[in-house]
Structure 1
Amino acid sequence: MPAEAGIQAGLRKNWIPAFAGMTVEAIFRSASSRHVLNPSAYSRGLFNILREFRDLMDEMSVGSPTPRIDGVAKVTGRAKFTGDLDFAGLLEAKILRSPLPHAVVKAIDPAKAEALPGVVAVLTRDDLKDIDPYYGNCLRDRAVVAIDRVRFVGEPVAVVAAANALTAEAALSLIDVQYTELPCVADIDAARAEGAPVVHEQQSGTGEFHDVAGVGERFGGNVCHREQCIKGNPDKAFADADEIIEETFEFPMIYQYAMEPHTAVARVTADGITLWSSSAHPFLVRSELAHMFHLPHSKVEVIVPFVGGAYGSKSYFKIEPLVVAIARKTGGRPVRVAQSIPESMLTTRRHSARMRIKTGVKRDGTLIAREAEVILDTGAYADNGPRVAKRAISRMIGPYKLDHCKVDVVALYTNTVPAGSMRSIGGPQTIWALESHMDTIAERLGFDPLEFRLRRLLRRGEVLKPGATPIDADLCAGTKAAVKPLDWAGAATPNGKGAGVAVGVSDSEAMPVSVALVRLLADGSVILSAGTTEVGQGARTILCQIAAQELALPVECVTMGGTDTLATPFDRSTGASRSTTVMGSAVKAAALELREQLVVAAAEALHTSTSAITLNDGCAIAGDKRLSYSKIVSAYFGMPGGEIIGRGTMRPGDGMGAQFPLFWETGMGGAEARVDSETGEIAIEKYMTVADVGKAINPPQVEGQDEGAAIQGLGHTLFESLIYENGQPLNANLIDYRVPRFGDLPKHFASALIENEDGPGPYGAKGMGESGIVSVAPAVGNAIARATGVRIRALPLTPERVWRALKEQRRGQ
């Protein structure tokens, strides 16, 4: 690359010993980093180089700290979210929700609401007879509005569309609903009890988008789904153990708080459905709506404006079927449902869980056998519960040398808000239990917990689970990096301050189905079309960087808009850390196909061979001849205008798509915490998060994703918990439900990226963004245990819970 050669020459003229052995890209990134850019810290020679060659370095889009392409629009307020959209005749809709956790809907009379001036339409169960009213990605077990029963507080019973939100809200109180209350299945203990009420008496049909064997099987009682994995012969192996250690851990219900609540606008006409939604899975929404309303896919258009965060809460289908159903009754006028935060907290959540784990060990620390049971509270409907159960398996086995293991996972129905996806499904729950348990084993056997892990972690190429892709990371290196800033030696004995470490390894569930188009326009600019939803993770910027790199263009020349299913090619989903690896590979393939056409066209225009052509800065170069991309397009078509198009596809069975998981997402955390023995308050003084990302295509964005995940993990570690009492939510609001704030950050908070360019994605990238959340709770919990000598096995680690544990310890002594 010319830029590479130029900078190498500059380095020879202005040699700086501190950069000996570093690649040009590493030097550039070091000098450009937001962490270390400080002229006084560098020799003047380096800045001479950067000034001389910075324009050339701009060619190196991948690996550079490219500013977010949507950043200015967001910070200036120009970005339009679904709630900002305005249409002629727009109606506002409000939802009447069940006040009871479990009841038969005996009768519903909307007449008074319909008569209220300003009300245009009211949707009840009586309006669902000409459609398939049930939806769901794993099981189609949930109705648009309640038909025969309500199964959780907050379940939609009716919808009112009116000229304004106040009128719609007033009309809700005029709808007469008669219920017969049923016994409530309040939690997993009630769900498992002998003679327990059954949340779903009839078996539901399977959804279109599950990839989990056994979905739809009738398990009986309140069981939504079961999973099991057996490796070796654990029953026999336990007999060879010198000691058997068993513990039970609890993980709370968590809400996937995002700044933008669930919002959607729908218009239904004779031409079909148009839906504007903050959905992370627009193509799956299109397919489900087409199924429900008996339309071809081509008659359902799903448009995704700017999205204000998701974290799994906007996966699959949440309010979209309901908004479309009410829009069918408004004579073509568009209808918007804009939920409040409390309403969204009654829409979806993360699974709460109980984990029992038993491990047989030798006195030398060898892990002999493990048996584990995971019980997930999936709420009133399946949502993504079966897939969460499936993913919990490998996370509970753990990334350690262990020949004999049995893990059982069950997802149970309860009369609470349905649990869906959230960052690293099944990961924070099981890794909290497993990594806390590993410290318990080390303590029981008299080993340092760090050294205990380092001796037993799987090495690159070793297999965690039968049939799975081998481990593709250096777990030991990441674990060492996580404790590097900590006072590990000083935390060896309980003195009120402790250090803890945890290792998280997750198998990505990314489905390898993505299509991308890259179009070179007549003026030499590029339009990238890809169905990935920008939910705040920076996907648009990353994908534009990939296209720019392959086409030898400044990234500013590449434009990528939002998703519109009528115009944008298909993408399976935005989730499971798949956008960079899967869609990024499709974008790279599309750009390469376009590049090949461009080189052929340039060779024809310049009357030379394709081998003589190089591309740089929007031009084709052959010797001393130079032709801009715009002139190449004109020459190709024989007149101004036209465009050259490249297409890229990822599908199962093709290269990366043939392996499962596509990659292992690894994240390590190291925490240093101080505990006030009088109040139980925890002060996290240091936290280090480490991610093996393969290749950081945009380092500041990658760091931001990992750090953001860790901050989110502080929530369920220290204070987040949705509280229910007899099926009634007690804190479904942001006053009583506490989420992390900047003031909650540790005094010293840092991240480190491991880049070996060994991932399956473009330039060796791996998916990331979820691993940072999984190790926080066990790292902090382990630090507290080492600080106090007390092991706490339930989250969150509130001051009261810690204080009570310390009090029990003193009482026991």
Structure 2
Amino acid sequence: MIVGASVRRVDGIEKVTGAAKFTGDLKFTALLEAKVLRSPLPHADIVSIDASRAEALAGVTAVLTRADVKDIDPYYGNCLRDRAVVALDRVRFVGEPVAVVAAEEGSIAAEALALITVEYRELPVVADIDAALAQDAPHLHEGVAGSGEFHDIAGLGAPFGGNICHREQFTKGDPDRAFAEAEEVIDETFEFPMACQYAMEPHSAVAQVTPDKITLWSSSAHPFLVRSELARMFGYPHARVEVIVPFVGGAYGSKSYFKIEPLAVALARKCRGRPVRLVQSAAESMLTTRRHSARLQIKTGIKRDGTMVARQARVLLDTGAYADNGPRVAKRVISRMIGPYELDHCKVDVLALYTNTAPAGSMRSIGGPQAIWALESHIDSIAAHCAIDPFEYRQRHLLKRGEILKPGATPLDADLRQGLKSAAGSINWASGAAGLAVGVSDSEAMPVSVALVRLLADGSVILIAGTTEVGQGARTVLCQIVAEELSIPIERITMRGTDTLATTFDRSTGASRSTTVMGSAVKAAAEDLRRQLIAAAAEAFKAGVDSIALQDGYACCGGSSLSYAQTVAQFFGMPGGELIGRGYMRPDGALGKSFPLFWETGMGAAELAVDDDTGALRILNYVTVADVGKAINPQQAEGQDEGAAIQGLGNTLFESLVYDHGQPLNANLIDYRVPRFTDLPDRFDSALIENRDGPGPYGAKGMGESGIVSVAPAIGNALARASGKRIRELPLTPERVWRALRSTDRSK
């Protein structure tokens, strides 16, 4: 079987030889280069903009300001349409686009930016969540924005008041009564920092606009959603908006939904049909999107034997100046704060708050690292309070397969104890400097995907599917599914990047949905084609379909065989024609009758050493365990889980985007520290659990996000066991650890 084999990546040669072309590599005739003038202030009214000197500069073709978007609906957003293409009357964060210049060369565009005069009137700054909740806080958005097309969130756009972008609330049972009956209460507050996704390729786009058509080349992970939003904003039908996705250099959520695409298209409208390229620097991308910082208050009532009877949690998310994906993140926090434990009474309140900082959007496992950092650290605190080993405590209280984590949701589809045993068994748990964590998250991946598989006259195959290859290996996995179903060498299959005029629809690439949802559509398309191919072969052999077998690119009947090319030629009576299989997924119950389609589960276990003199942590051993159902490509699956864990190591030990009263202090790759190879644990292992119990092809589940969520609590728990100090704020920098070691308060 090719499914289950670690075959070579289908795009590997192109990438390692430099043949792969990313958006910034593309060549165009008469290409213009764009540069963006960004707000230097976190909050201010725009009194006036004078771009006349910039427009007069030789080599400048166009300058876009608020005056140029009056003929369109300038607002966009996947959840709330609360953000304009360029700032209209007010800027709300440092880095917000105020004007954009298109010129013959990038250096000319940069020179023109300095010639634009903007007069601001500074306003009070809502610097953080405390300022956002203050009684006298200025309101960053006076009105309620309209909702986007693809949010799937009840209550979105309700007038929550103040600086509340969105609120999610959940209650199970009777928490107040249960707390009154609890014998002990453990109450803690945790802090999680802002973090940057840092994809190696910053946001990039090339736009060309004519009266008849919009063409956009973009590094977007959601090209069909981008098409829909651009069509609405600029008044074109979908058939005249073409979004083309070349190779993409990473995403991690940063290229979800709409980022610079509306800006590039709005500028291109002024360039008389010439293409315009907008490529951000890494520093600009760091001020375009980020992960939510969070304060998480969690209180659990217990019996003296450790039985949990009630939980109450309040989560405050800093969603930045605009909603972006904040409401969806708030929704997803709920299940993570309930947790995969036996618990009958629970109340969770989540607020996504506007502040004068860069908008917070999607990042690997939205809401997961924040909530699971708090919950899994809290579980260890309960175990310590009850003098119970943390591994044994979890083994006693974890939910079993088939039990309900959240009312109305899909029953738990994993054996959590099996995963926990695998993680604990890979480290020296008895060392006393080891920690564990369990991560369970709901993907809520909307199951809408369409695929075509074309068998051409020469027996080669083209797979058409709108999943974006962002480096995760989706093209390889999807080609493996086709190869398995058609019994054809994978080298005979081609899958290219998305072009929305020719590629079939996919809701999005994200939420670990590609293998499960698009993979199911691809499998259905391949099965449809297989049926047609067998029928064509049966006709050629004048035999029944039951007597036909497909093997390695041949249709076999008894002792005779025809190549797929010969089969197609006989079917059409000429060396031409093609057979086409179609498959689609929709929310009709084919992948399950409830959400989430699957629970993405992962475990983490860490051993560490603490330098008492400096506070530096050395990770001696880390193991990440993922329940994947079935690994279509084990090597890629392991790579995804290990990559996620290293990303989690960053926000655990050193990553934090720092603001001072609305001003970013380290939004660059000199001052903002991302993981290096030298940061790897001394020993670093991964394990895959394969029970073939997922809803996807061959029992696969989505994966690739679970590896990030357990890192921080596993390391924090190991530190608490080793030192007796529970640190509740990330990152665990040497200074923070050093101060905690010298604190007389054992809770810090």
Q: TM class by shorter-chain length?
A: over 0.9
What pairs up with 1:142-153 in 2 under 5 angstroms? Answer: 142-153=83-94
What pairs up with 1:63-462 in 2 under 5 angstroms? Answer: 63-462=4-403
Structure 1: which amino acid aligns with 2:369? P
Q: CA deviation at 1:240?
A: 1.5
Per the alignment, do residues 535 and 253 of structure 1 end up closer, same or farther by CA in structure 2, a change over 3 Å counting?
same
Structure 2: which amino acid aligns with 1:176? T
Match of 2:3 in 1: 62
Compute the RMSD of aligned alpha carbons: 0.9
What pairs up with 1:504-523 in 2 under 5 angstroms? Answer: 504-523=439-458
Q: CA deviation at 1:812?
A: 10
What pairs up with 1:481-560 in 2 under 5 angstroms? Answer: 481-491=422-432, 498-560=433-495
| 1:101/1:152 contact within 8 Å kept | yes
What pairs up with 1:597-676 in 2 under 5 angstroms? Answer: 597-676=532-611
Q: Provide the secondary structure at the position in 1 that maps to 2:743.
A: helix
Q: Which moved more, 1:499-508 or 1:236-245?
A: 236-245
Q: Provide the secondary structure at the position in 2 that maps to 1:746.
A: coil
Write the distance in 2 (CA, Å) between the matches of 1:346 and 1:359. 37
Q: CA deviation at 1:655?
A: 1.4
* Cα deviation 1:485-542 (Å, max 9, x = unaligned): 2111121xxxxxx100000000112110000000000000100000000000000000
* Cα deviation 1:448-488 (Å, max 9, x = unaligned): 00000010000000000000000000000101111112111
Write the distance in 2 (CA, Å) between the matches of 1:636 and 1:129. 57
Normalised to the residue count of structure 1, the TM-score between the two structures is 0.91
| 2:60/2:102 contact within 8 Å kept | yes
Write the distance in 1 (CA, Å) between the matches of 2:577 and 2:211. 34
Q: CA deviation at 1:558?
A: 0.7
Write the distance in 1 (CA, Å) between the matches of 2:738 and 2:65. 50
* Cα deviation 1:318-377 (Å, max 9, x = unaligned): 000000000001111000001000000110000000000000001111110000001000
| 2:218/2:244 contact within 8 Å kept | yes
* Cα deviation 1:119-164 (Å, max 9, x = unaligned): 0000000000111100000000000000010000000000000001
**Number of positions where the alignment pairs a residue of Structure 1 with one of Structure 2:** 748
Write the distance in 2 (CA, Å) between the matches of 1:756 and 1:374. 34
* 1:595 pairs with 2:530: yes
Write the distance in 1 (CA, Å) between the matches of 2:12 and 2:174. 54
Structure 1: which amino acid aligns with 2:640? Q
| 1:650/1:657 contact within 8 Å kept | no
Q: Provide the secondary structure at the position in 2 that maps to 1:465.
A: coil
Write the distance in 2 (CA, Å) between the matches of 1:485 and 1:650. 39
| 2:726/2:746 contact within 8 Å kept | no
Write the distance in 1 (CA, Å) between the matches of 2:180 and 2:267. 62
Q: CA deviation at 1:202?
A: 1.3
* 1:781 pairs with 2:716: yes
Normalised to the residue count of structure 2, the TM-score between the two structures is 0.99
Q: CA deviation at 1:809?
A: 3.0
Match of 1:721 in 2: 656
Match of 1:33 in 2: none
* Cα deviation 1:398-431 (Å, max 9, x = unaligned): 0000000000100000000000000000000000
Write the distance in 1 (CA, Å) between the matches of 2:383 and 2:277. 55
Write the distance in 2 (CA, Å) between the matches of 1:147 and 1:196. 22
Write the distance in 1 (CA, Å) between the matches of 2:251 and 2:622. 25
Structure 1: which amino acid aligns with 2:332? R
Q: CA deviation at 1:634?
A: 0.4
Write the distance in 2 (CA, Å) between the matches of 1:383 and 1:214. 16
* Cα deviation 1:700-752 (Å, max 9, x = unaligned): 00000000000000000000000000100000001100000111000000000
Q: Provide the secondary structure at the position in 1 that maps to 2:298.
A: strand
Equivalent residue for 2:626, pick from 681, 691, 695: 691
| 1:398/1:505 contact within 8 Å kept | yes
Write the distance in 1 (CA, Å) between the matches of 2:435 and 2:747. 25
Q: Provide the secondary structure at the position in 1 that maps to 2:744.
A: helix
Q: CA deviation at 1:659?
A: 2.0
Write the distance in 2 (CA, Å) between the matches of 1:488 and 1:560. 46
Write the distance in 2 (CA, Å) between the matches of 1:480 and 1:164. 59
Q: CA deviation at 1:678?
A: 1.1
* Cα deviation 1:587-621 (Å, max 9, x = unaligned): 00000000000001000001111010010011111
Write the distance in 2 (CA, Å) between the matches of 1:518 and 1:486. 45
Q: Provide the secondary structure at the position in 2 that maps to 1:66.
A: coil
Q: CA deviation at 1:653?
A: 1.6
Per the alignment, do residues 240 and 248 of structure 1 end up closer, same or farther by CA in structure 2, a change over 3 Å counting?
same
Structure 2: which amino acid aligns with 1:808? S
Equivalent residue for 1:711, pick from 646, 651, 666: 646
Instruction: Work out the percentage of aligned pairs sharing the same amino acid.
Output: 74
| 2:725/2:747 contact within 8 Å kept | no
Write the distance in 2 (CA, Å) between the matches of 1:601 and 1:738. 59
Q: CA deviation at 1:209?
A: 1.1
Match of 1:7 in 2: none
Write the distance in 1 (CA, Å) between the matches of 2:90 and 2:625. 47
| 1:689/1:752 contact within 8 Å kept | yes
Q: CA deviation at 1:810?
A: 7.9
Write the distance in 2 (CA, Å) between the matches of 1:657 and 1:693. 17
Structure 1: which amino acid aligns with 2:108? T
Write the distance in 2 (CA, Å) between the matches of 1:445 and 1:709. 33
Match of 2:697 in 1: 762
Write the distance in 2 (CA, Å) between the matches of 1:92 and 1:757. 50
* 1:795 pairs with 2:733: no
Write the distance in 2 (CA, Å) between the matches of 1:462 and 1:396. 17
| 1:226/1:411 contact within 8 Å kept | yes
Write the distance in 1 (CA, Å) between the matches of 2:30 and 2:177. 70
Per the alignment, do residues 657 and 174 of structure 1 end up closer, same or farther by CA in structure 2, a change over 3 Å counting?
farther
Question: Mind listing any 5+ residue stretches in structure 1 that lack a counterpart?
Answer: 1-59, 492-497
Q: CA deviation at 1:270?
A: 2.3
Write the distance in 2 (CA, Å) between the matches of 1:801 and 1:397. 29
